[in-house]
């Protein structure tokens, strides 16, 4: 097969990074509808307020909230929901949404680690019962990688939201935007995504997306975008 014979789709596979309050969930809810949100943050109400004048959009966004579920049910419910969607695609049936959002990697990771301690990995010996052991973090990398790659294979827009924090690199002294999640996977995440942007507020006070790497943040784009674009789906699509 030659490169020009590959079938491509114009869906966006995006890792959307940024500090709290940068409008990440609002941007994700501005993607094509219907939208399905896997919500571990329990803060999607910010988007509901932003789009309060757009009743049609709000009614076309379905939210699965996991943060409020009992620990024993949280991950099993989530994984069952993911499996049902993957089965739809594998059977050749159309997905019931055009955009899937996971909000956020930070809180999803915390939920997985809590599940290890209290549900799925109870047989593992730990020095402290309520503290994750090294093997938990090794499992986390395997399970999270499988989950991310599986969802990115869906034939729709897929957005993973990741909270960041500006921290000093102890080795170099440089300030870096680090994803708030444990383990080494945080540094490897960008390789799984076609697009990695940073949501921020620029010097003019505008909410924008940074699409190219700098000394603080590793980003990428395959869409030939400007280094900084408006934080909208239309801008990501090149103004279409």
Mean pLDDT, residues 19-39 taken together: 96
**Which pLDDT score is estimated for 6?**
46
What gap in Å lies between CA 102 and CA 39, rounded to an integer? 6
Structural tokens at position 165 = 């924090």
SS3 198: strand
Evaluate whether 199 touches 239 at the Cβ level (below 8 Å). Answer: no
Q: Name the pLDDT band for 124 (thresholds 50, 70, 90).
A: confident
CATH class of 3-197: alpha beta
* pLDDT of residue 35 exceeding 60: yes
Residue 171 has pLDDT above 80, yes or no: no
Given a cut of 60, whether residue 11 has pLDDT beyond it is yes
- What lies within 8 Å, CB to CB, of 134 at 6+ separation is none
The pLDDT value recorded for residue 114 is 95
- % of the chain exceeding 90 in pLDDT: 74
Scan for tokens 């699965």, then name that residue.
64
Tell me, what's the pLDDT at 1? 55
Between the two ends of the chain, the Cα-to-Cα distance in Å is 30
Query: How much is the average pLDDT of 176-181?
Result: 88
Domain residue extents for the chain: 3-197
The answer to whether the beta carbons of residues 225 and 215 sit under 8 Å apart is no
Closest CA to 112 of 19, 44, 183, 62: 183
Report the alpha-carbon distance of residue 180 to residue 142 in Å, rounded. Answer: 18
Averaged pLDDT for residues 97-119: 96
In whole angstroms, how far apart are CA 160 and each of 6, 16, 107, 130, 190? Answer: 25, 6, 11, 28, 11
Mean predicted confidence (pLDDT) in 58-84: 97
Q: Of residues 172 and 71, which shows the higher confidence score?
A: 71
- Residue with the bigger pLDDT between 90 and 187: it is 90
Confidence of residue 9 (pLDDT cuts 50, 70, 90): low
Which one has a higher pLDDT value, 41 or 5?
A: 41
User: Residue 100 is encoded by which pair of tokens?
Assistant: 């899937």
Confidence band, pLDDT 50/70/90 cuts, at residue 240: low
Contact at 8 Å (CB) between 148 and 160?
Answer: yes
Task: Kindly report the average pLDDT of the chain as a whole number.
Answer: 91
pLDDT, greater one: 95 or 134 = 95
Residue 181 pLDDT > 80 = yes
Return the percentage of the chain with pLDDT > 70, whole number: 96
The lowest-confidence range among 33-47, 95-109, 183-197 is: 183-197
Mean pLDDT, residues 152-168: 93
């Amino acid at each position: 097969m030659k490169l020009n014979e590959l079938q491509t789709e114009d869906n966006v596979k995006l890792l959307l990074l940024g500090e709290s309050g940068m409008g990440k969930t609002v941007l994700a809810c501005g993607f094509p509808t219907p939208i399905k949100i896997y919500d571990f943050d329990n803060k999607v109400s910010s988007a509901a307020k932003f789009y309060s004048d757009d009743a049609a959009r709000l009614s076309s966004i379905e939210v699965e909230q996991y943060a409020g579920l009992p620990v024993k049910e949280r991950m099993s419910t989530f994984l069952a929901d993911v499996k049902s969607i993957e089965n739809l695609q594998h059977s050749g049936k159309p997905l019931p949404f055009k955009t899937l959002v996971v909000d956020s990697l930070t809180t999803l990771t915390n939920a997985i680690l809590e599940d290890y301690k209290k549900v799925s990995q109870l047989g593992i010996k730990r020095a402290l019962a309520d503290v994750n052991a090294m093997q938990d973090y090794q499992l986390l990398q395997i399970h999270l990688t499988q989950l991310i790659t599986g969802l990115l294979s869906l034939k729709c827009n897929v957005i993973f939201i990741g909270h960041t924090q500006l921290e000093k690199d102890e080795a170099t002294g440089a300030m870096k935007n680090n994803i708030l999640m444990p383990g080494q996977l945080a540094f490897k995440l960008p390789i799984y995504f076609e697009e990695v942007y940073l949501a921020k507020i620029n010097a003019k006070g505008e909410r924008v997306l940074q699409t190219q790497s700098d000394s603080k943040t590793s980003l990428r784009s395959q869409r030939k975008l400007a280094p900084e674009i408006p934080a909208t789906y239309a801008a990501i699509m090149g103004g279409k």
